[in-house]
Every structure is written in C-alpha cells, then in structure tokens.
Structure 1
Amino acid sequence: MEVRFHVFHPSDCVNDVIERLRKARGHNISSVFLVDFDGVLQGRVYLQDLISAEGNTLLKDISKKTPWVQEMAPRDEIVEVVEKNQVPSIPVLNNDQVILGVIRYEQLVSIVHQDALDDLQKMVGVSKDEKALSTPFFSVRKRLPWLSVNHLTTFLAAFVVGVFEDTIAKITALAVLLPVVAGQSGNTGAQSQAVTMRGLALRGIRLRHKWRVMVKEGTVGLINGAVIGALCSVSVLYWSQSAALAGVIGVAMVIAMVAASLSGAAIPMILTALGQDPATSSSIVLTTITDIVGFVSFLGLATLFISQLG
C-alpha cells in the first residue's frame, strides 16, 4: 500500500488542482481522491476528466464514486474488487471511512503472481520458502515430510493392485495397460483441480457454487472419458485382438475420468470449507485418489469379465 497519494476537497477547482499536481511532479497519476475536512473519502476524479474540464469547474461536479476496501481486508477480496471494477488503483479506508493509502493495480499483479508461484509449489508438497538456490539440507527438511506422506499413499494404490493379483496373473496384458488408465485419470483430475483452484483464488466461484461446479466437471469428465475411452478401446483392440479387453478398458476409462474430474473439483472446495489452503499438497491427495479409482475400475471390471478375457 502506498501512503503518498493525492487528495483534494470537493470544492477545489480544476485549475488549482492541475497547478498543484504540476508542482508536486508526481509520476503515474491516473486519478485523485476527494475527501472532506475530516479526511473521509467522497469520490475520485480521473486524470482524463480533470484535463478535459473547464478551469473553473469544481471537482465535485466531475467526481465519480469509487470502490474501496477496509484496511484489514484479505488479499483475495482486494483482488476481487479491483478485477470487478477495473480500476487502476483502490483506496484503503479505516473504520471511519478515512483514506489511509492506495493500492495500485501493478502492485496487485505482482502479489498475485507471487501467490501463484507459491501455490504451484504447495500443490506438490514444496514449501513456499524454498528457492532454486536453497541449500540441499534446507530443501530436504521442507520436502521430506510430504514425501513421507506420499510414500504411504502410494502403498494404498499398490495394495489395490495386490488385491487383484490373481486376475493380473491370468491376464498379463492388464499390467501393461494399468499405467494408461492411471495416466489419463491423473491428467483429467489435474485439469479439473487447476480450473477449480483458479476460480476459488480469483473469487470466480464460492462454496455455494459447489454443486454447479461438480455437475459441470462431472459432465466434462463423462464426455472426455467417452471420447478417450473409445479411442483407447480401438487401440487396445488393434493391439490385443480382444474385444472384451477393449471394452473393459473403455468402460474403465469413463469411470476413472469421471471420478477424477469430480475429485479434482471436490478436493480444493473441501479444503476451503475446512478453512485450509486448497493448494496445500492437493496434488498428492488427488494422485492417490485417481490411481486407486483407476485401478479398481479397470481391474474390477477385468475380474468380473475374466471368463471373456481368457
């Protein structure tokens, strides 16, 4: 927040204001703010309106209402107000509506950019404090806890595969195709998660929109799953010459991609509802869910139709 900004009284005339601005030699002036004798915000006058008005015009006659934020407003709220109103700067007021400072758009862009970088690291279990040239021991201390959690979650997926050990032993082609199902469902979940997290970060969606988001992502997953499943079935049919195996992986792909889309949307919203940062290692959780659902759907269907596959 900048504490140096230009304020004038509504009864000041244009000529006086322009002269004072010229003497101040201020840079990057896009507007001035109007306050009464108690410092309470009354409005703003944009520079374009100022220079095009007659010299004896009073500022109150060319002023416009301006959005503002409270001094303790969270960062996300400030970004939302600026994005919604498309203003170059926004005043910060105290409880008495007295202007304390100004936040400029370019400052917000820098903050949002840094937040995006921090979220990118937190999604994969890396602390925002870690830099590219951090010491190895610092990086290990920051990364190891979440890698330990990931170690446990990968064993859950391995356990699921182990449950279907007999099926895989009879149809070895299933082991070859497992990464295909897991990879497609993982990418699907990542797409859904990225869109949902961006919506939450920019206040494009709220928790009250959860069902709309879930229906939309479920529909996207179903359509994409049907298309990718059909393509995968054709590929497997050509490779294995087994219509049953092609059908199993096609249906499993649809199930896995729908579940992945729903999970990618649900995880950030659940974390937000619990008061947690939705970026916090959500990719680790999502990968575990998509792997397990993908393996269960594919191997479960294969077990159900094993007589046709054999």
Structure 2
Amino acid sequence: MTGAAVQAVQYLNRSYIRDFPLDAAKQVEAMPPGEVAEILAEQPIPSIAPLFGWLAPDVAAKLLSYLPKPTATGLLESMSPNATLVLLGQYSEEERQSYLEMLDASLRKELQDLLTYPDDSAGRLMETRVGVFRPGMKVSQALERLRRSKLRGLHTLFLVDDDNRLSARVAIHDLAVADLDQTLREIAEPVTVVVQVTAPRHEVVEVLEKTRLPNIPVIDVSGGLVGVVRYSSLVKALEEAASGAVQTMVGASRDERALSKVSFAVRKRQPWLQINLLTAFLAAAVVGLFEDTIAQVTALAILLPVVAGQSGNAGAQALAVTMRGLALREISAHHWFKVMTKEVSTGFINGVSIAMTCGLGVFIWSGSFGLVAVIAVSMILAMVAAGFAGAVIPIMLKRLGQDPAQSSSIILTTVTDVAGFFSFLGIATLLMGIL
C-alpha cells in the first residue's frame, strides 16, 4: 500500500471514529484489542478520546494497556472525569496507581479524591470489573469477548443502551444455552433493582434481602453502570463490621489485630480496663451494703453469682439483638420505647421461667422456702432490669451521637451486676425473718 493510500485509510478511520463514536465503539468491542490498538495509536488523541467514553469499561481498559504510554496519558487527561473513573476501576490497585502516576499532579489528586467513596457506601462495597455489553450483540460475539476478557466469577452480563445507561441484564446460564445467532436483547431481562454509588450499606442490605439476587448493579447519577455489589462481598463486609463491633463492645480497638504490637494493644485497652475496674468497685460496694445480711445467711454468698450470671446473659442477648437492629437500620433511636418494652417483657417471661427452675433447685439443695422466695423474686427483677439495660444502652449511645458498639458490654455488665446484687440482697434483707 502506497503512502497516500495509508494516509487515506488513516483519515477515513479518524473521520469515522470522530463522527460516529458510538458505531465505532460497537465495532471495536467485537474486535481483538491488539488489532484495534494499532489503528488507534496512529490517530490523534482528540479524535479517539470520545470513542473511549462510549466503549465498554473492560474493553477500554484492555485497549489502554496496549497503547503507548504517551497516548494512554493523553487519553486519560482528555476524557471526562466520570469516564476516567469507570475505566480506572477495571484495574487492580497497583495498576490503577501506575496510571495515576502518569498524570498531572492536580488531575491525579482530583481523581484520587473521586475514587474514594464514603465509608459503608455501595461504592466501597462494589466490584468494578463487570461485564458490560450491547443489546444488539450476538451471543457468539459475547462469548468471544468473554473469552478474551477472562473475567472470572460473572453471574450476569449487563446491557447498556446507546447513551451508556444500564438497560437490561443477561444471566450467564441463559447465555450458555442460547443460540449463537440470537442477540443479547432477545434473551435479556429488565433491570428492576439498582442502587446509587453513594447509597449507604443498610440500603444495599435491604435490597439484597428483599430480592435475593446474587448481585445488585451500582449506578452513578447519570444512570451509568459503575460496578456491582455481590452478595458474597456484602456478607464479608458485614462479618468484618460485626467482628469490629465485638471488639469495641469489650473495649478493644477496631484497629487492633491478633498480631498487633503489645504497646499498641496496651494503649488501646488500658483506658477501658481502668473504667471496668471502677465499675467493678461499684458492684462490690453494693455487696458491701449488705455485709451483715450475708454474714447471717452464708448461703446468700453461694447463690449470688447465679443471679448475676443469669441477668448478665439475659442482658447480653438483649444487647446483641438491639445492636443488630441498629446496625442494619431495622430500628432507630425513635424506636427506643417499643424495643425497651419488648425486651422488658421478654425478660419478665424468661425470668419467671428461670425462677421456677432455679427455685426448685434451691429448695432441693437448702430445703428453705424463704431462700426460694428470695432467689425467685430477685431473678425476675434482675432479668427485667437486664432486658431494659440491653435495649436502652445502645440506643442511648446512638442518640448521644456515639458509637453504640463502643464498650456497651462494659456498661451493661455494671448495670446487670448492680441490679442483680441489689435485688437479691435487698429482698433477702427484707425477708430475713423467714430465712
């Protein structure tokens, strides 16, 4: 081919890409990326930048990796920030950082800020490597593109319209059994559920629990697909959040790990241990108020841990349920009275049942009806108080603007110990005449 012919072909390619970027994108998506990259590398950046805004993200990312570094840098600087974010989302953290380092400092800072989504948002939970296809693409073309892209773990292909907005979805198992000449439009299903990229985690949880879908598409403000939240990823995030909550409930830092330095662990735990010591002295002071009662009836000292232990367990159950409700946004601080009433009623019913069993055991052991009456009544009162505390403590912390998980169990233990000791020894003092 002569030099003039080569120039003519380049001109035609440039004109086609510039004037019909959507049609060109559809053609490029069906071609091997290596061949396309050779053609695009010969074109000026202003001519091919619009094309990358129309391409499926995985195709655009693959093409960018084939292009010379100067061309790739120019493209990233010429594209809109939103299109650049979607494209960079297809790479690993290390690859993404290498492309960012190629850019001007101000643009790099802007993109890095935009890539950081709020904590506990859909943007933090989503996976950005998704299969984006055109409705008019044939099944055979889609399968070929899947083989080239080597995307793993896909359950769904997402289809976008001519404005690059999410329009439909195709299940992988439907794709596998479809005729090769069928179009994706023919086997697609409408997308009925989406979440915004800034949606809070509790909203994503609610959507997944209602729909039971394996993944939920995440869109930006223009309706473009930016990622998916997979059910497995959400479960993992909830497990991590729950483990962090368990640590903070007992006064350990969320940041502490099993192999953290001793100095770090001591610094994070020591303040709460000191607080726990003060609350332990408070419970001990309650016992000290009834020293004479214990001295007269030594059996009370033996039974005291039984009441405290049962009320502590009941309080922990109420606390766990309330904490879960707050974490999943099933309840808010405005539901405090309803939650408290439920837990107090539960504590009363369980208290009566436990009191009957405990009373029978105490009578067989001691033969004293007076001791049975003391432990039965105090058990009911202590478990009611435990239910009240387990429901109110996290809600109270939430209303005060504090983390409801932060050392809730330390406060709860103090309340249940004091309530259990005071009710048991107080009633024993009142009924001393029959002991």
TM-score, scaled to structure 1: 0.90
Change in CA separation of 1:276 and 1:45 when aligned onto 2, cut-off 3 Å: farther
CA distance in 2: counterparts of 1:287 and 1:116, whole angstroms: 20
How far the C-alpha of 1:289 sits from its partner, in A, is 0.7
More moved, 177-186 vs 265-274 = 265-274
> For the Cα contact (< 8 Å) 1:44–1:66, is it kept in 2?
no
Aligned to 2:358: 232
CA distance in 2: counterparts of 1:301 and 1:102, whole angstroms: 60
Higher-Rg structure is 2
Aligned partner of 1:25 among 147, 150, 159: 150
SS in 2 for 1:194: helix
SS in 2 for 1:260: helix
CA distance in 2: counterparts of 1:193 and 1:148, whole angstroms: 22
Q: Which amino acid aligns with 1:25?
A: K
> For the Cα contact (< 8 Å) 2:316–2:390, is it kept in 1?
yes
More moved, 203-212 vs 245-254 = 203-212
1:14-69 deviations in whole A, cap 9, x for unaligned?
A: 34333322332322121011222332222322112333445334527622224222
> For the Cα contact (< 8 Å) 1:14–1:59, is it kept in 2?
no
How far the C-alpha of 1:209 sits from its partner, in A, is 4.7
Q: Does 1:78 align with 2:204?
A: yes
CA distance in 2: counterparts of 1:272 and 1:16, whole angstroms: 53
CA distance in 2: counterparts of 1:246 and 1:288, whole angstroms: 25
> For the Cα contact (< 8 Å) 1:217–1:261, is it kept in 2?
yes
> For the Cα contact (< 8 Å) 1:80–1:203, is it kept in 2?
no
Aligned to 1:143: 269
> For the Cα contact (< 8 Å) 1:193–1:264, is it kept in 2?
yes
How far the C-alpha of 1:13 sits from its partner, in A, is 4.0
- Count of residues in Structure 1 that have an aligned counterpart in Structure 2: 309
Aligned to 2:218: 92
Q: Does 1:253 align with 2:394?
A: no
How far the C-alpha of 1:250 sits from its partner, in A, is 0.5
Change in CA separation of 1:209 and 1:42 when aligned onto 2, cut-off 3 Å: farther
CA distance in 1: counterparts of 2:177 and 2:401, whole angstroms: 49
Q: Structure 1: which 5+ residue stretches go unaligned?
A: none
CA distance in 2: counterparts of 1:212 and 1:201, whole angstroms: 17
More moved, 104-113 vs 60-69 = 60-69
Aligned to 1:279: 405
1:152-186 deviations in whole A, cap 9, x for unaligned?
A: 21122122222223333333322222111101100
1:244-292 deviations in whole A, cap 9, x for unaligned?
A: 1110111100111122122212222333333332221111011011111
> For the Cα contact (< 8 Å) 2:168–2:188, is it kept in 1?
no
CA distance in 2: counterparts of 1:191 and 1:151, whole angstroms: 23
Aligned to 1:307: 433
Aligned to 1:155: 281
CA distance in 2: counterparts of 1:35 and 1:230, whole angstroms: 65
Aligned partner of 1:42 among 135, 142, 167: 167
Q: Which amino acid aligns with 1:196?
A: T
Q: Does 1:185 align with 2:311?
A: yes
Q: Which amino acid aligns with 2:316?
A: A
More moved, 15-24 vs 87-96 = 15-24
Q: Does 1:127 align with 2:253?
A: yes
Q: Which amino acid aligns with 2:296?
A: K
How far the C-alpha of 1:229 sits from its partner, in A, is 0.9
> For the Cα contact (< 8 Å) 2:315–2:390, is it kept in 1?
yes
* RMSD over aligned Cα atoms: 2.3
Q: Does 1:241 align with 2:360?
A: no
Aligned to 1:106: 232
1:103-125 deviations in whole A, cap 9, x for unaligned?
A: 32222222222222211111100
SS in 1 for 2:198: coil
Aligned sequence identity (%): 53
CA distance in 1: counterparts of 2:358 and 2:322, whole angstroms: 27
Q: Which amino acid aligns with 1:38?
A: D
1:80-113 deviations in whole A, cap 9, x for unaligned?
A: 3223322222222222222222232222222222
CA distance in 2: counterparts of 1:120 and 1:238, whole angstroms: 39
> For the Cα contact (< 8 Å) 2:249–2:406, is it kept in 1?
yes
Aligned to 1:12: 137
Q: Which amino acid aligns with 1:302?
A: A
> For the Cα contact (< 8 Å) 2:136–2:183, is it kept in 1?
no
Q: Structure 2: which 5+ residue stretches go unaligned?
A: 1-125
Q: Which amino acid aligns with 2:270?
A: L
